[in-house]
Amino acid sequence: MGGLSARSDAAAASTPRHEAGAPNHTPEEAAFIRQESLFGRLPLLPWEREYGHAGAHTMCFAYAVATWCFMVGGFIAKYTGAVEGLICVLAGSVAGTFVVTMAPALACQRYGLEQIDYCRSAFGPHGNRVILIFYVINQVGWNGLLLVMFGNAVRNVLRGFGYDPGTWVVGLGVTAGLWFTYLLVTRGVHLLNVSNAYIGPGLAILTVFMFGMLIHEHGWQEIASAKPLAPFANRWFNYVFVFELSMAGGIGWWGGIGFLTRNTKKRRAAVYPELLQLGFAMGLVTCVSLFSSLVMRTSDPTEWMIPIGGVWMGVLALLFVAMANVSSAAVATYTCGLALRHLRMLRARPWWHLVIWSLVPCVPFILWPGELYSYGTSYLAYNGTLYAPLGGVLFADFVFLRRQRLNIYAIFDDHPSTEYYYTRGFNWPALVCTALGMGIYLFLLDPITYESHALFRYVTASLPATLVPGVVYWAWMRPRVARAAAAARASAGEPQRLLRPNI
Amino acid sequence: MSQPAPEDPGVRNAHEAELLTRELERRLEWLSQADEAEFGHFGRLDWWICAALFFVIPILVVWWAA
């Protein structure tokens, strides 16, 4: 963190003393605490948070709209046409986002918690580390795919100018994207918020402009009648598969929910922007990509905007890609850095160390961008495999078992006597139910080969992988949570202290 | 236990650790006892709206349109 001997943070120096720390703190101590709240796991108090309603909408939109929308739209164009795709994409995107948003959004907003800290109530301190591993893989994977798309966009624009430098320029684009992301993230949430205040509306305008160009050039009739690129033989399977991919896209937001909502001031600002932007807006932009893929045979805007509007239109699209991807990669990297604070060896490291640790795993994407990018559809399905059951377990835990109340002391205390320590740090019902959900998903749909069970066409894979673990977990944990609640009522009024703080 | 080098950025000294723990306990106490109104309202109607608009109706539309 830099320690108390570091120069006072200018932001902390200008922050009223009661907001930065207890009234008797020195300026250096207040700056230290401010750094811990911005770049560490200290629960955020309401006056420290960045986002009201407008800010949350802007931030969520900037996070949601990146070229992953175009990647997903391109995948979906293989299996379905425009009208069916529009319905399935919008419905799947909002339904998947709903499943993974409600519980973490409300919990992290109410208690100012980082995402992995919140999961402790269901998984225990050591069970949490299992979740942490998958969480980091998720964030790193999306970052890598985003930056490869940025590198591809750079190459396409150079081709538009008549240069074809080869695939190495994609790796160069990934490197540049990593550097921009590092610069943005190391400057803190406030800069992210300021940059997204411009990037969000800019992305919205560019998206509408691109859609307008598409309609002007091809017309809705041509788009609506375009055939999918490489559908499966069974039409019904194509339809459900697209709905499943779209839900997986919404479910994949799980990793970013806590970071966004921890920084919101009011509950509705924590929920509605997430559902509307991460779910609905993302679905709309995905549909723009779906339409372009169907008629232009490519989802990459830097490819299809050049034939329509010339090279400078491709440059405009590249600008869009750069803004969209770097802002989204910055949010993903920020959340990853915060999550890595759970590792003892990184707990007290300076923030820039955590950012480096979050970005270094993306280095393979510099060296093998095409090879890793080809796993994009399977990676999308992987999100559903893990996060669907995770969403179900956490939903049941926070909403139904705990009635939206957490024992926040138990989250930051590693003493075995605390409520969330469970069995040697593992809450086996949560882990078993998550594994059950993953098994259900893989039984219904193989995300690598796309082979499916007959049931998949009626129930999808994500829905049962969410609902079944949630119900089983609720039934399994109900007696234990009831006992803990009774014990809490019995000891109400007694002062609480941290016996073994884990921060 | 030996004290870490004072300039080592990866380890907190005892004073920092104690300061952080006290600050954490202060925040936990505040968050535990805070008035719920401080965090804004999200009630039964919000839940019905979200569940209907963002989960139930979308799934029904997909089935109906199939």
- The per-residue DSSP string of A319-388 comes to HHHHHHHHHHHHHHHHHHHHHHTTSGGGTTS-HHHHHHHHHGGGTHHHHSHHHHHTTHHHHHHHHHHHHH
Q: What pLDDT was estimated at residue A393?
A: 97
H helix runs in A65-167, sequence order: 67-76, 82-111, 115-160
Between chains, do B22 and A498 touch, taking CB under 8 Å as contact? Answer: no
Single-letter amino acid, residue A28: E
d(CA A196, CA A326): 11
Neighbouring-strand partners of residue A152 = none
| Residue A242's pLDDT band (cuts 50, 70, 90) | very high
The rounded mean pLDDT for chain A is 85
Give A378-392 pLDDT, tens digit per residue: 776 677 788 999 999
For A103, counting Cβ atoms within 10 Å of its Cβ (0-12 exposed, 13-18 middle, 19+ buried), the class is buried
pLDDT at residue number A267: 96
pLDDT digits (tens, 9 = 90+) for A340-365: 888 888 888 888 999 999 999 999 98
Which of B19, B26, B62 minimises the CB distance to A243?
A: B62
**Minimal C-alpha gap between A410 and chain B (Å):** 10
CA distances from A245 to A35, A286, A374, A500 (A): 39, 12, 16, 43
Q: Where are the domains of chain A?
A: 2-26+38-490
How would residue A35 be classed by pLDDT, with cut points 50, 70 and 90?
confident
User: Looking at chain B from residue 15 to 34, which residues have their Cβ under 8 Å from any Cβ of chain A?
Assistant: 15-16, 19-32
Rounded to the nearest angstrom, the minimum Cα separation between A323 and chain B is 28
Do residues A330 and A192 lie in contact, with contact meaning Cβ atoms separated by under 8 Å? yes
- Which tens digits make up the pLDDT trace of B4-62? 444 455 567 788 888 999 999 999 999 999 999 999 999 999 999 999 999 999 999 99
Range with the lowest mean pLDDT among A19-23, A87-91, A286-290, A405-409?
Answer: A19-23
Phi-psi region of A422 (alpha: psi -120 to 50; beta: other; left: phi over 0): left
Identify all chain A residues contacting B21, using CB atoms and an 8 Å cutoff.
498, 501, 503
This prediction has a pTM of 0.86
Amino acid at A146: L
pLDDT, mean of residues A58-84: 86
Testing the interface with B: which of A41, A42, A418 to mutate, by most B Cβ within 10 A?
A: A42
Higher pLDDT, A98 or A368: A98
Q: State residue A8's pLDDT score.
A: 37
Instruction: Specify which residues A452 forms β-bridges with.
Output: A445
Q: Tell me, what DSSP letter sits at residue A406?
A: -
- Residue A73 and residue A242 in contact, taking contact as beta carbons nearer than 8 Å: no
Q: Which of A400, A466, A418, A497 is nearest to A120 (CA)?
A: A418
| pLDDT tier, A441 (very low <50, low <70, confident <90, very high otherwise) | very high
Sort A251 into a burial class: Cβ within 10 Å, 0-12 / 13-18 / 19+: buried
- Alpha-carbon distance A393 to nearest alpha carbon in chain B (angstroms): 17
Q: According to the CATH classification, is domain A2-26+38-490 in 1.10.4160.10?
A: yes
Say whether B58 and A239 touch across the interface (CB within 8 A): no
Outline where A226-310 has alpha helix (H): 235-251, 254-262, 267-273, 282-296, 301-309
> Is A128's pLDDT higher than 80?
yes
Residue A301's pLDDT band (cuts 50, 70, 90): low
Pick the closest to residue A397 from A67, A19, A102 (CA basis): A102
State the count of interchain CB pairs (< 8 A) between A and B.
Answer: 130
Q: How many CB atoms lie within 10 A of CB A161?
A: 12
What number is the average pLDDT over the span A192-211? Answer: 76
Q: Tokens 């924590």 — which residue? A: A270
The lowest-confidence range among A43-57, A315-329, A342-356 is A315-329
Residue A433 has pLDDT above 90, yes or no: yes
Inter-chain touch B21–A243, beta carbons under 8 Å: no
Q: CA of A384: how far to CAs of A35, A96, A107, A149, A266, in Å?
A: 35, 9, 22, 22, 29
> What is the C-alpha to C-alpha distance for residues A400 and A394, in angstroms, rounded to an integer?
10
Predicted confidence at residue A98, as pLDDT, reads 96
Task: Please report the pLDDT score of residue A10 as a whole number.
Answer: 41
Is A199 or A148 the better-scoring residue by pLDDT?
A: A148
Helix (H, G, I), strand (E, B) or coil at A426: strand
Q: What whole-number percentage of chain A has pLDDT above 70?
A: 92
DSSP alpha helix (H) spans, A161-188: 168-185
Q: pLDDT value at position A17?
A: 38
Q: Note the pLDDT of residue A1.
A: 40
- pLDDT (tens digit, 9 = 90+) per residue, A459-470? 999 999 999 999
Task: Decide: A294 and A228 in contact? Cβ < 8 Å.
Answer: yes
Name the one residue in this structure whose structure tokens are 């770097």: A326
Residue A449 pLDDT > 50: yes
Q: What is the pLDDT of residue A100?
A: 93
Structure ipTM over 0.90, yes or no? no
Out of B9, B38, B46, the one facing A46 most closely (by C-beta) is: B38
Residue A76, SS3 per DSSP: helix
CA-based nearest residue to A87, from A379, A382, A290: A290
- In tens, the pLDDT along A154-171 reads 887 787 778 887 888 899
Write the DSSP assignment of A474-503 as a string of letters: HHHHHHHHHHHHHHHHHTTTS----SSB--
Q: Is the pLDDT of residue A15 over 70?
A: no
